[in-house]
Amino acid sequence: MNFQLPTPVQPLKIGTRGSPLALAQAYETMARLIAAFDLPQDAFKIVVITVTGDVIQDRPLKDIGGKGLFTREIEEDLLAGKIDIAVHSMKDMPTLQPDGLLLDTYLPREDVRDAFISHTLKSITELARGAVVGTSSLRRRAQLLNRRPDLNVVEFRGNVQTRLKKLEAGVAECTFLATAGLKRLGRSDVPATPVDAEDMLPAVAQGAIGIERRADDARIKHMLDAIHDTPTGQRLAAERTFLEALDGSCETPIAGLAILEGDQLHLRGEVLRPDGSDAIAGERRGPISDGPKMGIDLAQELLDRAGEGFFDWHTT
């Protein structure tokens, strides 16, 4: 089946948030499509869309609506035909898409690890008792307090640049960012020390870029199939099914990571109380094709072990 490829007259419109990292991800997507179809750069147009999550910076995400705050306006424009595809950080994505949209294309996954950011220290263990740590992630907050309940964890919203400025201003002694984001931004100047996933299990889908499309757009499906990374898709199928089965949101500290080992998949997952007072972890191994099933099975195990009341959390 022949499809009309985009041209400078009728460019393919790529929707994205406006942060430097979001733009870097949109340009990476564009570069891969250019290479796959030997197209000129002006056959594409980057469309920046303002989302609620970027406008409201003074409150925690859980207080203003959760993950959908980074996607809603972009998905509305995609459904309306104002853009042709939407590029997302997968760790920001809800597990369910609006009717009419599909999220089934992933670029090769970057480094999944969190990065410890400090101008004077190299690790969590070097932090003094009562040290101030800045993070906007409920998962990172819970994991830190689980290991170090003496720490003072404060809210640290904003994009990478904003959070680095807060750190330089002395608002906190350290913070955490995704290593993948720093690499995509080329920020080798940032004083970052990657944290082993064995020590701090990352967010589900951390380091992965997803591309969303209209379900009935065969031309776009044809183009995106050419840049889809199958191993990333296999890993995320397990991780996101695990997240969905836990009914994960920005109000629930959940971590998960799937690794491919030959023809096998190793999935690890963790749920925590927001104050770090309790953490429950588990793992599964099996054929790659069983990834989604393992995600559901592991989620059910953690729910059973957590018991009634574990998820009835109230944070201060």
Residue 164 belongs to a domain: yes
Active site residue 77: no
**What integer pLDDT is reported at residue 316 of this predicted model?**
40
Residue 239, pLDDT score: 98
Contacts of 147 (CB under 8 A, 6+ apart): 124, 276
CB 219 within 8 A of CB 85: no
Residues 26, 68: one domain?
yes
Average pLDDT over residues 142-155: 95
Q: What is the pLDDT of residue 315?
A: 41
**pLDDT of amino acid 156:** 83
Give residue 269's pLDDT band: very low, low, confident or very high (50, 70, 90).
Answer: very high
270 has pLDDT over 50: yes
Q: What pLDDT sits at residue 231?
A: 98
Q: Is residue 75 domain-resident? A: yes
CATH of the domain at 26: 3.40.190.10
58 occurs within a structural domain: yes
Q: What pLDDT, in 10s, does the model give residues 204-257?
A: 999 999 999 999 999 999 999 999 999 999 999 999 999 999 975 546 799 999
Whether residue 16 sits in one domain with residue 54: yes
Q: What is the pLDDT of residue 166?
A: 87
Q: What is the CATH number of the domain that holds 277?
A: 3.30.160.40
DSSP SS3 for 104: strand
* pLDDT tens by residue, 104-133: 999 999 999 999 999 899 999 999 999 999
Same domain, 255 and 217: no
Do 82 and 214 lie in a common domain?
A: yes
Q: Residue 65: pLDDT band by 50, 70, 90 thresholds?
A: low
Q: Could you tell me if 81 and 221 lie in one domain?
A: yes
Q: Give a yes or no: residue 316 inside a domain.
A: no
Asked if 55 and 170 sit in the same domain, the reply is: no
User: In terms of Cα–Cα distance, which of 173, 142, 170, 171 is closest to 62?
Assistant: 142
Question: Is the same domain home to 76 and 215?
Answer: yes
Residues 94 and 121 in one domain: no
**How far is residue 248's CA from residue 271's CA, in Å, rounded to a whole number?**
10
Question: Residue 121 is part of which domain span?
Answer: 114-195
With bands split at pLDDT 50, 70 and 90, how would you rate the model's confidence at 309?
confident
* Residue 89 and residue 16 share a domain: yes
Q: How many domains does the chain have?
A: 3
Asked if 124 and 75 sit in the same domain, the reply is: no
Residue 201 inside a domain? The answer is: no
On whether residue 234 sits in a domain, the answer given is no
- Judge whether 314 and 301 are in contact, CB under 8 Å: no
User: Cα(219)–Cα(222) distance, rounded to whole angstroms?
Assistant: 5
Going through 162-307 in order, the beta strands assigned E by DSSP cover: 174-178, 192-195, 209-214, 254-261, 264-272, 279-287
The average confidence (pLDDT) of the chain is 91
pLDDT band, very low/low/confident/very high, at 314 (cuts 50, 70, 90): very low
Same domain, yes or no: 86 and 214: yes
pLDDT at 281: 97
At 115 the pLDDT is: 96
- Asked whether residue 98 is assigned to any structural domain, the reply reads yes
Q: Taking residues 18-30, what's their average pLDDT? A: 96
Which residue among the candidates 42, 54, 84, 92 is catalytic per the annotation? Answer: 92
pTM greater than 0.85: yes
pLDDT digits (tens, 9 = 90+) for 149-199: 999 999 887 777 888 888 888 889 999 999 999 999 999 999 999 999 999
In a domain, 2, yes or no: no
Has residue 143 got a pLDDT over 80?
Answer: yes
Q: How many helices (H) and strands (E) does the chain have?
A: 10, 13
Q: Are residues 72 and 183 in the same domain?
A: no
Residue 136, pLDDT score: 86
